[in-house]
Structure 1
């Protein structure tokens, strides 16, 4: 059995933690039997994802799960880790043209699940088209594990170096979120697809990356909408992958922290200057001393939990996460799907979860479009509308669907008896 370390904080939420979802809409109807065959080939390669959690004295360990996966024809999400999912921590299902991959954040993060997703798509499209396809993918059913692919970052021993991230005062908290005293049973989500060429052109013209461009524009939207003063700072909490910095670029396990990107409402800096500042902040964040500090912080929390006896006491220790609000908002860019020839068969891709307090944005890309899922714990769309207007003002082409009220189910781990 392998003890979960960096994913521990997702295992003790009150009443369970909501599923993470990647949904991929193809250009043709999904064939059930072909998907089952593709999954069978894929899980042979990613056999470590065929697992369940075993609880021992309040600690969780991964162990092999011999129960079958059921590839369902249904758009409905089921609780992970429970009987309905045969205790599995991933669930693959489909409806019409849309493929859903649900996974537990305690098992892995977005970057960690992507190789599995790419491989599943590769096998499915190969089976249904009969064509020999090209994909930048080392994860076929016959390939061996990559270096450190199953390595647990939480077991690393790192030099206790100091962090370099600046602390900010006057950080703005969205009133609609700060007023919410408890975690909601649902969230609100707006899907936005952005034309790649126009976003990349804007980013290039202002010396920004796509993620930095979105961070700046959404920060500006919040500042303008709420008429912030020069004493208030909008913070974009940008998810930053730590893998390369600690030599574990292939691990599927959780290995992410957040860099704080500030936007001061009264600042008259150009987009170029803001992008330059953000690039510098991210570069400093990725320095060895700070990467070590960030991962050591996660490891220290895990080690602290190891010293606490019993599930209930561990859950109480982590209760602060039940309704945590990350001011001002969160942005997570998983990256390019990098599908090669398969890209032409995919219409769209989205990634989301529910229950998070405040406002968070998940971002992922195909060749021709960037896909944003803007998730809120409130229904007011004023920040989204202001953001879309800024896209329009800057000649960034986009499409947007209407706001959805939705939820992804909480896991069933909390219903298991403590051993």
Structure 2
């Protein structure tokens, strides 16, 4: 009996084809308030899998493309926090899996099929069923459960529905090379997939501070990183450019899709901004986020992204798709000094009260990335970097100290995101 196939959508195409060789997986690592109960977690995974059949797939390839194939095997539950390989026998050929050890719980998933917002829908369902097994009735409002029908709005990629733009008619964009810390400071590469440095900041300390400076947590972290890089890379001649990742679903009127649906805000830290006091810098950055997150502007940007995805999917061979996607991604990465991503505050307090830590771990490319999560009154900042020195981390900590922000250092560890195997047809 043939299995149902799902083809790569316009919104996922570049992310998927550009990262095939880079293991672009994400690990959401949570520390719960009690050791993980294996039997309860197994039941929760099975119920969650039934609610998200469109995420229970195997990634396959042939000479012309990547596609997904329905996977009816159970999603893996692994009693270890070591690096795993998704889409392999170890994980029953699934593109997501759950790992655990004592109170630590990890959800590993492949970024080529979904982004942080999309996978958080699944995470909320998983934790809902898990805590329901342990504690009984849990408020399910806003959480997708088996009682809710699967709606087409979850499955449709909004970029597939956007009109095709003639990419050749767009004005050519000048090539920009941003300051790169690895090169500018002659830093040593970290082993493996990079280094993860962790900081906890109580909301009661940080939120009043950010509001007083006309900022949000994501904007403030972006400003602090820019200030830190400026102090480290003194005399740099390339522009210092940050990228703040934005969830584009609200602007497209498609809040429910699981597909990658991300836009980015470009944050230049130029000489004019450098001379400003912190509060003014925050106002400038927040203004940039506001302007570049305008609905019409995001729709235009996402329309271009969708057309790029359609172009990639239309290329004749798998090699063509990979080469084109990697070139486009390299142009973006070369013009970036750092990335900041914040999916927003955890929306389910009854689940959140059992979450003691929440770290988002992504690959460290050629530049540092700050991933931010907020749950149970605490902001968790994951500093993910490709170099072994703590030079940026130390400068960021100094910004917190200088501005009297309460924080707790939580150590460092190697990035242990999953590998991913691509199965042949």
Q: Contact (CA 8 Å) 2:25, 2:419: kept in 1 or not?
A: yes
CA distance in 2, matches of 1:178, 1:106: 32
Instruction: Name the counterpart of 2:323.
Output: 316
Q: Secondary structure at the match of 2:154?
A: coil
Unaligned runs of 5+ in 1: none
Unaligned runs of 5+ in 2: none
Return closer, same or farther for 1:301/1:373 CA change in 2, 3 Å cut-off.
same
Q: Contact (CA 8 Å) 1:158, 1:292: kept in 2 or not?
A: no
Return closer, same or farther for 1:160/1:342 CA change in 2, 3 Å cut-off.
same
Instruction: Name the counterpart of 1:307.
Output: 314
**Number of corresponding residues:** 413
Equivalent residue runs for 1:13-412 within 5 Å: 13=19, 15-130=21-136, 132-134=137-139, 136-146=141-151, 148-158=153-163, 171-176=178-183, 185-228=192-235, 233-265=239-271, 267-320=274-327, 321=329, 324-412=333-421
CA distance in 2, matches of 1:22, 1:286: 26
CA distance in 2, matches of 1:170, 1:325: 5
Superposition RMSD on alpha carbons, in Å? 2.9
Return closer, same or farther for 1:169/1:103 CA change in 2, 3 Å cut-off.
closer
Q: Shift of the alpha carbon at 1:342?
A: 2.0
Deviation digits for residues 280-330 of structure 1 (CA, Å, limit 9, x no counterpart): 222221223321232123222222223322222322223334794452100
CA distance in 1, matches of 2:321, 2:120: 30
Deviation digits for residues 174-220 of structure 1 (CA, Å, limit 9, x no counterpart): 24479799997420110111111111011110111111111111111
With the length of structure 2 as denominator, give the TM-score of the two structures.
Answer: 0.88
Deviation digits for residues 222-268 of structure 1 (CA, Å, limit 9, x no counterpart): 11222347x66422200011111112111011000211112235633
Deviation digits for residues 323-352 of structure 1 (CA, Å, limit 9, x no counterpart): 944521000101112221222211101111
CA distance in 2, matches of 1:328, 1:121: 35
With the length of structure 1 as denominator, give the TM-score of the two structures.
Answer: 0.90
Q: Shift of the alpha carbon at 1:355?
A: 4.5
Q: Contact (CA 8 Å) 2:210, 2:217: kept in 1 or not?
A: yes
CA distance in 1, matches of 2:184, 2:25: 21
Structure number with the higher helix fraction is: 2
Q: Secondary structure at the match of 1:385?
A: helix
Deviation digits for residues 45-100 of structure 1 (CA, Å, limit 9, x no counterpart): 22221112243542223332112222121112321122222221111121110111
Q: Identify which range, 204-213 or 397-406, moves more after superposition.
A: 397-406
